[in-house]
Structures are given as structure tokens and as C-alpha cells.
Amino acid sequence: MRATTIYGVVQRLGGIVELRNAADRLTGGYAVDDLELGLEDATIDVEHDPELVAGQVIYAEITEQGQFAAVGVLEGAVAEAVAVIGEPLYFSGTYAADGAPADRTRSFVSPSARVLGMSLTVEPANSTAMPLRWKRGDIRRDSDRRDWPISWRSESPLLARAADSMIGVPLTQLRNRSAARISDLRPDPNAPPTWGLKPGDPAPAGWRSRQLPNGLRRSAHAGRILSVR
């Protein structure tokens, strides 16, 4: 039975999550301003039921725009069902949030939260969740990716970053690889200021990554600013 790779935005940081009781009545809501970068459990289940294991999160990130996004691989009956289900699927995260009330009856905003796990759902509680996209096959397998359209990297930058995160991983580990951390792509607030820079200037010594702030790009060889946007 063939695997299915799913990917998309779990939520935007700061997005409202509804809290409902057993009668489906709205009792409150909460928002999380930031996430800890450790991923406690990479298991994907169905509708927050730990008995219905569907697959694994193999890559997760916080985008430059503050969206929490993930790539997962589903196996078994759920992988087959994704191709024929007649309604959108969403990721739904399980979080441990600072300051969360124990009775779940009032609203709050938490400065940070820890991601405990991920579920598939057709009714996301988060107002900023986006429908998932999918491709047949396991992104961890070169043989499966060969069946994807040649333009898959440019059409799905999230998938491309997930694939790049596995470069150099030994084949013996790759088949069962899952995500342990969330990649943070947001600009470093402590990075040197960018005003006054122009193309041809040397890159400041403090920039050790190709993820530069404010759209700046750096030559991998000469250490010079290529463009200022």
C-alpha cells in the first residue's frame, strides 16, 4: 500500500483557537504568540484519537510570515483515503500553552506553547488553518519523488525545504526519519541593521546564514551583497 505525503499550514501564530464543550457549544478561545522549537511527538493521528495513528511529521517550520507549517507522510488505509475523501483535510496541533486555564472555559493569550502532536481533521478549531495538499508517495524516497511533476520544487517551496532538510541523512535512517524540531525561518531580530547597504558591499561578518533579513541575498562565494529590496 503506497504512502501519501501531505503538507500545508497548521496555523498562523496568534490565530484564534475555539474551545467547545461536549455539546459543541463555544466556551472560549485562545491564541499562541510563539512556539517552542522542540517537537515533542511527531506522530500524526486522526481527530486527536491516539489509537488512530496515521503517520509521521517529517518536517515542520515557522515561516518568515509567522505561519506554522508541516509536512507529513501517511501510510496504511488513511494514505489511501486522502485520495478519495470528498472534503478538505487540515492539520490540527495539540499544544501545552503557558497560562492555559484548567477548566477550558475562558479565553486567554499565551506567549508561547509546546507542540505535543499533530492530528488530521475535517473541522479545524483554528481559524487560520489551511486545507492540506498532498502527493502520492513518500517524500523520503527518491523513487517516489521521481513520479512527481518536474516542477514540484518551484510549485511547493515547503516540500522543497522538507526534502533539503534530509540531505546527508544516511539511507539506513531516512526511511523512518521524523521531525524532532521546528525550523524557524523568521529573520533574526538581533541581526545587524540593513540600512545603508547596497549591491557589491561586503556582507557583515555577523551573517553566517543564507537566511538573511529583509530580503537581502548574499553570494555563497564572495561574501558580497547581491541585491537590496
Model pLDDT for residues 84-118, shown as the tens digit of each residue: 777 899 999 988 876 666 655 567 788 899 999 99
Please check whether residues 149 and 194 belong to one and the same domain: no
Indicate the pairing of strand 35-39 with strand 90-97: unpaired
Tell me how many domains the chain contains.
2
Please check whether residues 194 and 142 belong to one and the same domain: no
> Is 129's pLDDT higher than 70?
yes
Please check whether residues 146 and 133 belong to one and the same domain: yes
pLDDT at 222: 46
Q: Judging by beta carbons within 10 Å of its beta carbon (0-12, 13-18, 19+), is residue 182 exposed, middle or buried?
A: buried
Please check whether residues 202 and 122 belong to one and the same domain: no
Please check whether residues 27 and 78 belong to one and the same domain: yes
Distance CA 128, CA 29 (A): 13
Please check whether residues 56 and 76 belong to one and the same domain: yes
What is the domain extent for residue 213?
Answer: 188-229
Pick from 177, 149, 146: which is nearest to 58 by CA? Answer: 177
Please check whether residues 152 and 169 belong to one and the same domain: yes
pLDDT tens per residue, range 68-78: 999 999 998 88
Please name the amino acid found at residue 84: V
Please check whether residues 163 and 215 belong to one and the same domain: no
- The helix, strand and coil proportions of the chain, stated in percent and rounded to the nearest 5, come to 15, 40, 50
Say how far residue 81 (Cα) sits from the centre of its chain: 22
Q: What is the pTM of this model?
A: 0.79
Please check whether residues 208 and 109 belong to one and the same domain: no
Phi and psi (nearest 5°) for 182?
-100, 125
Please check whether residues 59 and 99 belong to one and the same domain: yes
Please check whether residues 129 and 211 belong to one and the same domain: no
pLDDT at 215: 52
Neighbours of 4 (CB within 10 A): 25
Pick from 103, 106, 94: which is nearest to 43 by CA? Answer: 94
